[in-house]
Amino acid sequence: MNGPDWAFWVAEAEGEVVSTLFVHRIRKIPRPQRLHDSYGYITNVYTKPAYRNRGIGGGLMDHVFSWAKAEDLEHLIVWPRPGSERFYARAGFTSEHPFLEKPLRREGAPPDEL
């Protein structure tokens, strides 16, 4: 995880890590419209139970969205564990698949436009 394909965030409270969120950058196969493209796979999302429902996980997710847009990722995906779907839905993830997806830009759109 010590390379360019991983990024992670932690939240601290009272001198301890209380929440984590990791993103693995997945490089896509080159195509004529975009030779270099990638998306992010979100994993290891966890907040200690005593710190849940305080906006900590959502705050980490906001940082991830800003980072992902700055990195020009196409979208973010996550395979949520049962019971966590509402957390991801509040963050804007949707899907008709077993995984959830958060589009970050429209196909062919400039990097700063969704």
pTM equals 0.79
The rounded mean pLDDT for the chain is: 89
Q: Read off the DSSP letter of residue 29.
A: P
Domain boundaries, the chain: 6-103
For residue range 46-97, what is the model confidence (pLDDT) as tens digits?
999 999 999 999 999 999 999 999 999 999 999 988 889 899 999 999 877 7
- Look at 93 and 1; give whichever has higher pLDDT: 93
Q: Which residues, at least 6 apart from 79, have a Cβ–Cβ distance to it below 8 Å?
A: 98, 99, 100
What pLDDT sits at residue 108? 62
Q: Which fold has domain 6-103?
A: Aminopeptidase (3.40.630)
Which secondary structure element, helix H or strand E, spans residue 84, and what is its range?
A: none
